[in-house]
Structure 1
C-alpha cells in the first residue's frame, strides 16, 4: 500500500467530485490521478439504473472512505451483472457492492469476504430491503400471480434477483411455475427504468421491478404512479414502498482476494462509523451500514429454484446417492432389467395372441359365410313346394301351347302358330326367371354391393313366396312412402333377409285359426340418409323376448336352427342399419329395420 504526505492532489480530487456527479460523461476511472502518491482501490458496483445514477448514489461513499483512510483513492466502476462477475473472476477489483442475489452467486464461486450491509431507510434501519414488486397498469385484469398465464412479463434478466428471481420464488411457493406460465419473458436489462417504460408503452402486460423503483421514478417525475398498481401487495407494516414478495438482505460490500486484510478492516470500520444522516448515507438511500447479515434465506431461494451455484445437477446428485447406497442402486437396476424383460415378454404374448385372434376372426368369417349358405339352402328346401308349383305352371302352359300348335298344324291354321310360339317363349322366360331367382338365393358368396332400388328385390321375394301365401290364404300388402332412391345393396343378402323375415311371418300366421291373415310391408324413404322397412303381421306375436330370439341357436320352430335372425341382423348391420322386433300394439309381430342410403365400407 503506497502512502504519501502530499495532500494537494487529494484536495484537487475533492474539488472535482461535484463536477463528476453533475457530468456523467466524465468517468471515474479516467480522471488523472498520480498512482505513485495514492493507494488506488478499485470498487465495482452493480449499476441497476445506469452509469449516472450509480455515480450519484455511490460516489459520496467513496469520498467518505477516502476521508477516513488517508492516502487512498477509491475508484468507482459501475457495471452490469456480467461485467461485475467477469471483473471479480479476473481480480480487477478490490471491493464489490451489489445486491444480495449476485452476492450469493459471487461468494459461492469466488473468494469473497462480506464486510458490511446497508441499513434500510425504509425499514427502520433494518438490513432487509431487497424484494420485487409486480407492477401492472391500473386498468389491468391481473389480480394475482396466477393471472399472469399467457401474459407478457417484463424483467431485468432471468438472473436478476430483485428484478425477477424473488418474484419467481414467491410464485413457486404458491405452486405456480412462473417461467412456464407466462407467454413471454421480456428482459429489458439496465437501466431499470426500461421495465416501467415497457409497461407504459404496452409492450408488456406486467413488469417485475425491484423495491421502490416505481416510487423513485414517480418522485423523479418520470411517470405518474396513479396509473399503476402493485399485484399481491405484501408490504410489511411501516415499510416505505410497496412490495409483492418477502424482503431479503440489503446491498452489501465484499472484499475480493486482491485487497489486503488491513485495508478491509479500515474499510469496514469506516463504513460502520458512517453517520445515519450523512450525505453518503442519504445518497445511498440508507441509514448507513451494519455488519454483514446472513445470506441463508438467499441460499434457500436459489436451492429451491435449483439455481444455486454449489448445487450439482440432478444426475450428479443421483450418482452420488448411488455410490452411497450401492445395494439399492443394484436393486433398482435389476428391477429395471426385470421390468423391461417382462415388458418384452408381454409384448411377445400380446402379438402372438393378436395373430391367433386374427386367424380365429378369419375362420369365424368363413364359417359365417358357410352358415349363411346353409341357411339359404334350408330356406330353398322349405320353398320346394312353392318352387315346384311356380315351375309347374309355365311347364303346363308350354305343354298346352305345344299341343295347340300341333293341332293347328294338322288343321292347316298356320297363321295362328306365331302367337302360340310367342306364348311358349314367354312361359320359357318365366321359368328361366324362377330358376335364376333360385340360383341367386343359393349363391355361396354374396354379390358385391351395387346401386339399385329396394322395391324390385321385395317384389322378387314376394314371387318366391307367392305359393306359400296362397296356400295359407295370406294377403300381403305393401306401401311406399316418400321418394324412392337408389342405394348400395348386396342383392343376394337383401333377398335372403326379406325371405327370412317374410317366411317367419308366414309360419307364424300358419298357426292362427282366423280367416283374415295379413302381412303389411312398408318402405319409408322420408327419413334422411336411410330407408325404413317395416314388416307386420296379425299373428300371435312374439312368445319370447326379442333380444333372446336374436341370439344364435335360439328358435321357436321345432326344426329351426336358430340362425335366421342372427344372419338377418348381420346383413342389416353390414348395410349400416339396425334390426328390431317387438309386439305390435294392434297384435302380431312388428319387425323394423333401417338401411343406410350411403355406401358402407368394410372396417
Structure 2
C-alpha cells in the first residue's frame, strides 16, 4: 500500500504538467528600472496580448526591484523573467533560466536590439569634459546590478584606469533611471549614468530639456543615433524559468516573435516587437573584465589548490631535479651553443626586419626609439643613428596634418604604452628629416618581455600617398559623374526653364514699349512711368534670380565645404522646378523648420540631391488625378545633431521587388531612365556623413528621407 502511495507521489508532478492548464495564472517578472507603476503601465498590455493569443492561460506582470529578481526566480515566484542582460547572465548560471526572445527596443523612432550606457553631467560643468575629469567627482548610478545604468559605464572607466569605487569622491545608487537624471539636473551629484534612450524619452515626455546636459565620452554611430558613452550590448532577453514547461515556453516564444512591431502592446511598452535570442557573449566579456559575478573568482588559484591538484607532478619534479643535477655540465655546454645560436637568430631577425617594405620602429616606455629598419630610414630620411635613443614623437609625430602641434599625451603610441591596447590609425601624418610630411597608416602594438611585462611598443607604418591620390581621383570621377548628371537634368528641364525666363523678358519688353509711348505722348504721366519702370525692374530681378540658380546648379563645384541653410537650398530648387511643377499640375507644400541647424556641405551637390528627388516625385504622380498630386517637403532637427529632410509624394508607391535595390546603379522605374540619379544621391549623402532611405506611405505614395549632420560650433556662435 505504501509503495503505491509513493509511486503516486512521484508521478504527481508529471501528471500535473500533462493536464491542460485551464485559466492557469502565469507570472512574468519584469525588472522595474523606472518604477513599479511605470513598469506595470508599460508591460501589462503585453501580458494581455499573451493571454489573448495563448488560450487557457492568464498572464500577469510582476514588477521587481533589482534586489527582488534573484529571489523571485530562485523560489519559483515567477514563470518568466524579463530583465537586463547582466542579471540574465547571472540567472542563467545560478538558476538555469533560458532566453526565448530578445527585445526590439523602440529608441529614437527606430527598432534597436542593442543598447548602451550614457555618462552625463550638467552642460554648465566646464570642469567635466572627459572620463579623466571624473576623478574626485560624485557619481550616481541606477543600481549596482544595472547593466546600462552602471556596469557599462564602469567598464569604460576601467579602460581609462579609473575605478569608480576608489577614484570617485562618492558613488550612490538612485534605484531608477529617472531619479538619476533629476539628481544630476538639480545639481545634487556631479555625474550620472543611465541606459541609452532614457534621456530622449524623458525629453520627449517634457520632463527634462536635453540642452541642460552634456554627454561624456560621446560615441557616434550613424546606425545608432541615440546619445551614448559606451560600447553596445544586446537588449533585454525574455526568459523562461527552470520550472516552466517547454511547451508553454514555445507558445510564448512564437507569440512574441509573431507580434507586429506596431502592435498596441508594443507601443505601450515603447518597443517594436521581438527577435530571436541574440548572443550575450559581450556581456560575459564585460563581467570577466570587471571580475563581476559569475566571474568574481576567475584567476584565484592558491598554492594550496595547486598542491592538492598536482601533487603527483610535484613528485615527478623532484625526480627530475635529481636528474638535472646530474646533467649540469651538459647544460653548461648547451648554454654556450645557445648563445651562439642566439647571435645567429639576431642576425636573421635583422635581415627579416630590413626586408620588410613597411617602416618599423621600436619605442620604449619613455617614448625613445630603440630600433628602426631600413625601410624606415628610406621613407623618412632619418638614419638609425639619428633616431635611436631620441624621442620618436618629437621627431616623427610632433605636428598634425593641419599644422597645429600634436601633444604627446594624445599620441596613440604613448596610449599603447600606457594601457597595453594595440591600436591602428588609418590616416595620420609623419614628418621627414627634410621637414616635409607624408600621409601614413600605422599600428602600435605592445612589446612584452619574458615575464609578459610591457617594455614598449613597435610601430609599423606605411606611406599611403599613392592610395590617397587614387582616392582623390576616384572622388573627382564621382564629382564629374554628378556634374554630367546635373547637365543631363538641365537638358531635360531646358524647355521649362526657357519658358520661365521668357515670361519676365516678355513682360520687360512690353512694359518698356509702354513706357516709351507714354514719354513720347508728352502727357506728363511721370508717376505712371515710374510705376512701369518698377515693374520692369521686378521682372528683371526675377529673370536674374532664375539665371543665377541655373548657373549655380550647372557649374562644376569646388571641393571646399561651406555652411549652408538647407531651407534656402530647397527654395532655390523649387524656383528651378516652378514650370515643371505647373506643367505637371502638381502642388508643392513646404513645411520648413526655421530653427534648422546649418550643415557643412557642398552647396551644388545638395541642390542636386533635392532636385533629383523632387523631379522623381513629380514624374511618379503623372498618372494620379490632377487634384491629388501633392509633393510635401519638410525639414526638422533630429535629436542628435542631424538635419532631417523629408520629401513625400502621393504617387502609386514602389514595387516591393524594386524597393530593396532602389539605390543600386542602373536600377530605375522610369521607361527611359538611366538608373544613376538615386545612386549618385546616395553617394553624395554618404560622403557628407549622412544617410538616405525610403519608406512607403500609408494609402499610397513614397517618402524619401535623408539626414545630414549639423554643425554644432556654428549653432553655438549664432
For the aligned pair, the TM-score class normalised by the smaller chain equals 0.3 to 0.5
Give 1 or 2 for the bigger CA radius of gyration.
Answer: 1
TM-score using structure 2 length? 0.40
**TM-score under structure 1 normalisation?**
0.47
